[in-house]
Amino acid sequence: MNQRILLSVIAVTGALLFSGYGNAESQAQKKSSPAAEQPPQKQFSEKTKGAISFKGIPLGKPGVKNALQKMCKEKKFNPEHDRCSFNENSSQLMLNYENMVDAFALVTLGSGDALIKVEIDSSTPELLGLAKALEAKFGKPQKTSTVIKNAIGTQFDKDTFVWVDDQGSRITIESIFYDYNKGGVVIESAAAIAAQEAAAKKAKETAKSNP
């Protein structure tokens, strides 16, 4: 009887040892096997297929005032209302842009008469159409979708599309700002973006030092 018990104990112990070794070996194989490794996450390329410009006018390049004035005069409304002088840093013009016709754009010049920013408000369907046009031109954008609420609590689906080129210039489309059927597109030079980020950082540091 004692011999039988001893043999059973030996058999069970051996089985457990073999099983433990097998499991350890299996785990080691999983760690070393490339197939068991987590596949790398797909990295989105934020760079466009080409340099971002506005109707062929480069962003951040000095001396484009004449080109902007020529573009401005394509619409009779602009010279009739003295919109083409660009005596101020910003001027609101009527123009066409991709699928947008007779859109009003706030055009901003920077140092050396460089085009640094263009802002256009439009309807949500028109902006979604613009996103398709720009995707065909610059490639797939970085897209985020969120749900927003207006002042009375009504919810809306909001899509944001972003393109960035090698120079750091950027196009951002927001399908909705704060209410139904109204959003906008912003086209910015790298210098304008850097200035905004520096101003935001400074404001944040000031708020921290003055609680």
Q: What is the pLDDT of residues 166-201, one digit of tens each?
A: 999 999 999 998 777 899 999 999 999 998 888 888
Residue 30, pLDDT score? 36
Residue 165 included in any domain: yes
User: Which residues share a beta bridge with 115?
Assistant: 109
Assigned domain for 23 exists: no
Lowest-confidence range among 7-21, 75-89, 107-121?
Answer: 7-21
pLDDT tens for 94-123 read 999 999 999 999 999 999 999 999 999 999
Q: Please write the tens of the pLDDT for every residue from 132-166.
A: 999 999 999 999 999 988 888 888 899 999 999 99
* C-alpha to C-alpha distance for 186 and 51, rounded to whole angstroms: 16
Q: Could you tell me if residue 74 is inside a domain?
A: yes
Amino acid code (one letter) for 181: N
Beta bridge partners of 148: 156
In a domain, 17, yes or no: no
How far apart are alpha carbons 203 and 201 in whole angstroms? Answer: 5
Determine if residue 157 is left, alpha or beta; phi over 0 gives left, psi from -120 to 50 gives alpha, anything else beta.
beta
Q: Which domain holds residue 130?
A: 53-209
More confident residue, 29 or 176: 176
Residue 23 has pLDDT above 50, yes or no: no
What is the percent of the chain where pLDDT is above 70? 78
Q: Is residue 48 part of a domain?
A: no
Q: Among all chains, which residue has been given the structure tokens 């760690």?
A: 31
Indicate whether 182 belongs to any domain.
yes
pLDDT at residue number 44: 43
User: Would 63 be classed as within a structural domain?
Assistant: yes
With a pLDDT cut of 90, the percent of the chain lying above it is 58
Strand partners, 47: 164
CB atoms inside a 10 Å sphere around CB 199: 10
Residue 140 Cα distances to 44, 133, 135, 174, angstroms: 9, 11, 5, 16
Mean model confidence pLDDT for the chain: 81
Arithmetic mean of pLDDT, 48-64: 92
Structurally, the chain folds into a number of domains equal to: 1
> What pLDDT is attached to residue 42?
38
Give pTM, 2 decimals.
Answer: 0.74
Q: What pLDDT does 51 receive?
A: 92
Q: Is residue 146 part of a domain?
A: yes
Give the per-residue pLDDT at 18: 39
